A and B are shown apart, each in its own frame.
Chain A
Amino acid sequence: MSNVFTINNLNLHYGDFQALKDISLDVERNKVTALIGPSGCGKSTFLRCLNRMNDLIDDCQIDGEVLYHDNNVYDKNYDVISLRTKVGMVFQKPNPFPMTIFDNIAYGPRCQGIKDKTELTKIVETSLKKAALWEEVKNRLKENAMSLSGGQQQRLCIARAIAMEPEVILMDEPTSALDPIATLKIEQLINDLKENYAIVIVTHSMQQAARISDNTAFFHMGELIEYNTTDIIFTTPANGKTEDYITGRFG
């Protein structure tokens, strides 16, 4: 068993507000790790620490360690660009670029300097196949990605992340803007993807966490209350707060 991420004593402040309090947790390879908890508990903030997307927020201060393969990503000299090529991200709202489906997938590789057309074509095809979108779009790669349905757009965003051949995929409530059928497709996809990637997913739906994840972390008020395998969290949680949350007594 090996960990891709090891987080030690992570604290995060937005100005005076402490959004994360002394978080320590490991993210395992080829596992789906779910982050659950009520709104504002810090789970999305935590997720964004893993690929340093919090850098984009003014007034955000971080201390503690986020070790990605034993290197602290918050080291001054750490190459954040290469981190983000290895740690992909899928957002809450599908955010395809306003360009063709092909260009959307090819965007990441092109930014890394891949120009060869046949290589790009190959990357686009394999990525779309892995994201279970190929059959639906193979004849319309030149169409604008905005013409896809919401669920297709989200799978396109997953394909876009896969095109970078990342090691980890971070997902921030990827199904909250989708209908139940599209949600089901994404969940099946996540299940397939964990063969090759470590997946960290933030979700509001406890059923979803129970269905798709191997490990579950429960956050509350910026603290990590409990982290264990999903089975244990949902059957025999150690903490009273976790039990209250998963049984729907608050949150």
Chain B
Amino acid sequence: MKKNKNWIQNIMRSFHINSKKEIVDFFVRLIFMISTIISASFIVIIVAFIAREGIKPFVTDNDGLGAVNLFKFLSGRVWLTGTTFQSNLYSVGFIIINTIYVALLSLLIAMPIGVLTALFIAKIAPKKLSSIMRTVIELLAAIPSIVYGLFGAGVILPFVYNFAKTLGIQSPGGNSVLATVIVLSLMILPTITALSEVAIRSVGKDIEHGSLALGATKTQTHFKVILTSAKSGIFSSAILGIGRALGEATAVSLVAGNSQNGPSFGIFQTTSTLTSTMLQGLKETIGIDYDIRFSVGIVLMIVILITNMILNYVKKKVGNVNVK
């Protein structure tokens, strides 16, 4: 019995546990650690699975079609699905460009509107109005993407179609870069607004008063001091916004037109993004045409990773000011 106790004490000592309280503490920490391991391991499992499937088209001969050339895959301008299962000429080069193009355009539209709205809600609007606005924005941010997609298909597409018609341009049902950008802007606007609003609201009153006491007008104070003080948080909102724009599939595939070649820069051209390409016909295909979508998935993850890294770098460069 005594020996047994010594054995337990030795284990406890090796984990730096000296009392009963510390035993509880040890187990609580253990629970935290296990939770972390579970959630982190899912990321590893998902990435590993996608990678395993996605590499197939490049390393196997795809049931006699031959391996896909990685360089052509990344640089080509045609996504060949017309003769499905007959060819290995898939490429996502133009789709990568399309994806980044529409995401950046959406950010370009949503960012100024979102930040100005946030400024209005946080600093200019009367208290009652701003609390109503805040609720509305939160609701908008919670609307599922398919709803935005349906709105896009039902409202934006006819609008773009008619708009193109008045300009004398034939638009295929309105499916276009423009429609995609409008839908994506609408989707990321609440995210950007909500996060920017929090960032703006958290700028200290003392800084605001300091500016006003120097004879700056309210507008000067808002733009020169409050926005610059909040720019780190505003940048974070842009990062999340562009992440959502890059990763959005459902809504985009309803309005993009899913073009098979490109890149499409004209606003009335049909387009396709990495996500819409992955989604299109996923359930009705097999072989290389199925596997290649996982390769697109890898590309998408890399694109998002690189975009985030670039934006984080820029954020550090311009926004490292929230030292208190």
A82-102 vs B, Cβ < 8 Å mask (1 yes, 0 no): 111100110101011111000
Q: Is the CB of B215 within 8 A of A91?
A: no
| Closest beta carbon of chain B to A170's beta carbon, Å | 8
How many A-B pairs with Cβ below 8 Å? 75
Residues of B in contact (CB 8 Å), total: 22
**CB contact list, A36-93 vs B, under 8 A:** 51, 53, 56, 81-85, 88-89, 91, 93
Q: Is A155 an interface residue (CB 8 A)?
A: no
Q: Which of A81, A144, A160 contacts B323 (CB 8 A)?
A: A144
Q: Is B4 an interface residue (CB 8 A)?
A: no
Q: Is B165 an interface residue (CB 8 A)?
A: no
**20 intermolecular pairs with C-beta atoms under 8 Å apart:** A53-B212, A81-B217, A84-B214, A85-B214, A88-B214, A91-B209, A95-B209, A95-B210, A97-B228, A97-B229, A98-B207, A98-B228, A98-B229, A98-B322, A111-B215, A111-B216, A112-B215, A146-B323, A146-B324, A161-B214
Give Cα distance in the complex from A160 to B321, angstroms.
19
Give Cα distance in the complex from A108 to B213, angstroms.
9
Residues of A within 8 A of B322 (CB): 98
**CB contact list, B175-233 vs A, under 8 A:** 204, 206-207, 209-217, 220, 224-225, 228-229
Which of B204, B213, B229, B324 has the most chain A CB atoms inside 10 A of its CB? B213
Given A144-B321, A144-B323, A146-B321, residue A95 in contact with residue B214 (CB < 8 A) = no
Q: Which of A56, A93, A111, A147 contacts B214 (CB 8 A)?
A: A111
Residues of B within 8 A of A164 (CB): 214-215
Given A99-B321, A111-B224, residue A81 in contact with residue B210 (CB < 8 A) = no
| Closest beta carbon of chain B to A171's beta carbon, Å | 11
Q: Is A107 an interface residue (CB 8 A)?
A: yes
| Closest beta carbon of chain B to A71's beta carbon, Å | 16
Residues of B within 8 A of A144 (CB): 320-321, 323
Give Cα distance in the complex from A110 to B220, angstroms.
10
Give Cα distance in the complex from A81 to B211, angstroms.
11
Q: A98-B207, A157-B210 are in contact. List 13 more A-B contacts (CB 8 A).
A: A53-B209, A53-B212, A84-B214, A88-B214, A89-B213, A91-B210, A97-B225, A107-B216, A111-B214, A147-B323, A160-B214, A161-B213, A161-B214
List A residues at the B interface (Cβ < 8 Å): 51, 53, 56, 81-85, 88-89, 91, 93, 95-99, 107-108, 110-112, 144, 146-147, 157, 160-161, 164
Residue of chain B at shortest CB distance from A89: B213
Q: Is the CB of A97 within 8 A of B211?
A: yes
Residues of B within 8 A of A96 (CB): 210
Residues of A within 8 A of B324 (CB): 146
| Closest beta carbon of chain A to B243's beta carbon, Å | 26
Q: Is the CB of A93 within 8 A of B206?
A: yes
Residue of chain A at shortest CB distance from B321: A98
Residue of chain A at shortest CB distance from B228: A99
Residues of B within 8 A of A83 (CB): 215
Which of B206, B214, B216, B323 has the most chain A CB atoms inside 10 A of its CB? B214
B106-142 vs A, Cβ < 8 Å mask (1 yes, 0 no): 0000000000000000000000000000000000000
Residue of chain B at shortest CB distance from A100: B321
Residues of A within 8 A of B209 (CB): 53, 56, 91, 95
Give Cα distance in the complex from A83 to B324, angstroms.
30
| Closest beta carbon of chain B to A183's beta carbon, Å | 20
7 A-B pairs closest in CB distance? A85-B215, A98-B321, A89-B213, A84-B215, A95-B206, A146-B323, A108-B214
Give Cα distance in the complex from A156 to B216, angstroms.
18
Residues of B within 8 A of A56 (CB): 209, 212
Give Cα distance in the complex from A160 to B225, angstroms.
14
